[in-house]
Amino acid sequence: QVQLVESGGGLVQAGGSLRLSCAASGDTLCIHAMGWYRQTPGKERELIAGITTAGSTNYTDSVKDRFSLSRDNAKNTLILQMNSLKPEDTAVYYCNAVSRCAGSRYMSDWGRGTQVTVSP
C-alpha cells in the first residue's frame, strides 16, 4: 500500500500559478503509475494528468499546455505545476498511485485532496 499526502493548494487569481506536491511513502517501489485527479461538487473525479514509472505523461485536453508533471525521485514526490489558471480549474485535487508488489493484486491509493480555488 502507498500513502499519499498532497500539499500546495490555495487561492489564486486567474492567470496565476500554483504548484501541487504529492509525497508518497510505503510501497513506493511497487508504484506503476501516478496521477492527479480533480473533483467539483456534483461531478465525478476526473484524471487530469498522469505519469508512468517509465516517465510517459498524459494530460487531459483542458489542462494541456498549462499544467506539467514532474517527479522528484529522491523524495518520492510527484509535482503538478499549474500555470495560467482559470476559474474553471477550481476543484479539490487528489493524488493517486497505482501499485502492484510481486505476488499481490493491483492497488489504487488516494491522498486526502487539496483545495484549489481560482478567482476571476
63 pLDDT tier (thresholds 50, 70, 90): very high
DSSP string, 35-49: EEEEE-TTS--EEEE
For residue 46, what is its C-alpha cell? 476526473
**pLDDT tens-digit profile of 75-86?**
889 999 999 999
Average pLDDT over the chain, rounded to an integer: 95
- Burial class of residue 107 in the structure, from the number of CB atoms within 10 Å of its CB (0-12 exposed, 13-18 middle, 19+ buried): middle
The answer to whether residues 21 and 79 touch, using CB atoms and an 8 Å cutoff, is yes
**pLDDT tens-digit profile of 34-62?**
999 999 999 999 999 999 988 899 999 99
